[in-house]
């Protein structure tokens, strides 16, 4: 179970109308929404991995402490919610190190995991793995093995496997054989139907698809593939009353606001039907 801790105005679909320079002037709802997620998880006795934005941690350090005190894993979502493709390598290096250090200082524990905003590590930005490895991250959860207009490496393995450096700026799935740099990759889960990978495990897909289909697909992964799945949500997805962004495309409006009022009940049902653990615990990293 993973939660990407960001506010409604941080999402990549809004990056042109909601640049960082505007964030301080917007109503923040991330504390109240994350508190609701924490309460629901506590009721279900479920521990999760929280990929926290560094800028959120900077503004609300008590929220990070609350998450850690409740026994959840703290991981990094980067600092400023900028897609990897929109950063230089040097900017990315500073971003992931700044976030890691800040979260470790606040939580008092090691931050092992990273998830890129909008799952934006692609074949064009495999140098990001070098930077994550050098920064001391042990696993990454940024690859979505599907085709999408914002993200995706469709032919990447669907389940957990190491990413290994095979050449300069080139990392591939496989086992390190001669001491090559490697980092564990925890891809976002897909269900395979008729040889095609379909998104099933969270976010807008959880709100778009009928809950019985989601449940069926996740059970199929457990039973047919005999693998655990990675599920993700954002705190803003529990908030149907969030301020509406203006001047956005119909596609972004549909993706962001669809069925926000259904998230909480569906999430409670999901927690009652499946067993969950944090990524670091499942990988025996902490």
User: Has domain 2-282 been given CATH number 3.20.20.370?
Assistant: yes
- What is the 3 state secondary structure string of 142-183? CCCCCCCCCCCCCCCCCCCEEEEEEECCEEEECCCCCCCCEE
Distance of CA 132 to the CA centre of its chain: 15
Question: How far, in Å, CA of 233 to CA of 236, rounded?
Answer: 9
The residue ranges of every structural domain in the chain are 2-282
pLDDT tens, the chain, 286 aa long: 999 999 999 999 899 999 999 999 999 999 999 999 999 999 999 999 999 999 999 999 999 999 999 999 999 999 999 999 999 999 999 999 999 999 999 999 999 999 999 999 999 999 999 999 999 999 999 999 987 766 789 899 999 999 999 998 899 998 888 888 999 999 999 999 988 999 999 999 999 999 999 999 999 999 999 999 999 999 999 999 999 999 899 988 999 999 999 999 999 999 999 999 999 999 987 6
Overall size of the chain counted in residues: 286
- C-beta separation of 166 from 177 below 8 A: no
What pTM does this model have? Answer: 0.96
């Amino acid at each position: 179970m993973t939660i990407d801790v960001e506010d409604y105005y941080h999402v990549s679909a809004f990056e042109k109308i909601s640049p960082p320079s505007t964030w301080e002037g917007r109503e923040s709802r991330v504390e109240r929404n994350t508190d609701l997620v924490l309460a629901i998880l506590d009721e279900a006795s479920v521990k999760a991995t929280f990929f926290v934005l560094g800028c959120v941690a900077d503004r609300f350090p008590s929220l990070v402490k609350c998450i850690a005190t409740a026994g959840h894993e703290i991981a990094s979502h980067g600092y400023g919610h900028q897609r990897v493709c929109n950063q230089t390598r040097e900017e990315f290096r500073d971003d992931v190190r700044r976030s890691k250090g800040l979260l470790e200082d606040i939580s008092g524990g090691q931050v092992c995991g990273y998830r890129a905003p909008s799952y934006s590590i692609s074949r064009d930005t495999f140098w990001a793995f070098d930077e994550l490895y050098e920064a001391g991250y042990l696993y990454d959860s940024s690859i979505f093995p599907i085709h999408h207009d914002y993200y995706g490496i469709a032919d990447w393995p669907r389940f957990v496997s190491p990413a290994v450096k095979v050449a300069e700026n080139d990392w591939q799935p496989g086992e390190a054989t001669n001491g090559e740099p490697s980092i564990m990759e925890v891809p976002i889960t897909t269900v395979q139907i008729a040889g095609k990978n379909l998104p099933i495990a969270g976010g807008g897909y959880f709100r778009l698809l009928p809950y019985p289909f989601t449940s069926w697909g996740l059970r199929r992964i457990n039973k047919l593939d005999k693998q655990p799945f990675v599920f993700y949500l954002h705190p803003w997805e529990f908030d149907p009353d969030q301020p509406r962004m203006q001047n956005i495309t119909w596609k972004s409006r549909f993706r962001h606001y669809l069925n926000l009022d259904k998230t909480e009940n569906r999430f409670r049902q999901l927690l009652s039907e499946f067993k969950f653990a944090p990524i670091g615990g499942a990988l025996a990293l902490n």
